[in-house]
Amino acid sequence: MAEYLLLMHDDTTTPEAEDRWPAYLEGLAARGALRGGSAIGGGITLRRSGAAAPTSDITGFVRVEAPDLDAARALVDGNPTFEAGGTIEVRELPRTD
């Protein structure tokens, strides 16, 4: 199994229902896919020389385990950000074993 990050962007087209998060996360946990997650606050970007890229509009992440990218993508269904019209990036984490 691989691990993936579901990265939520701050670009919803309708108000996000914050009260949907517990049910979504409980559903992932019940499927054995949830590995963690958190909201992400503001910050800064740094670069040794030259101008750094601006901070992204990512507002949170959910870490999941899935057999492949298609299965990880399926875990986005029901995500409150996604259901409110927002963007979700699905990124595979490199294996460290």
Sort residue 5 into left (φ over 0), alpha (ψ -120 to 50) or beta. Answer: beta
Query: Cα separation of 77 and 74, whole Å?
Result: 6
The pTM of this model reads: 0.90
Model pLDDT, residue 22: 96
**Does the structure show a pLDDT above 90 at 17?**
no
**Does the structure show a pLDDT above 80 at 97?**
no
Q: Which of 86, 58, 92 has the alpha carbon at shortest distance from 72?
A: 92
Write out pLDDT tens, residues 29-65. Answer: 999 999 999 999 989 999 999 999 888 899 999 999 9
Q: Quickly tell me which residue has 């996000």 as its tokens.
A: 16
Instruction: Yes or no: say if 64 and 35 are a contact pair by the CB < 8 Å rule.
Output: yes
Model pLDDT, residue 54: 85
Percentage of residues in the chain having pLDDT higher than 90: 87
Domains delineated in the chain: 2-42+56-92 (3.30.70.1060)
Model pLDDT, residue 96: 77
Mean pLDDT for the stretch of residues 62-80: 97
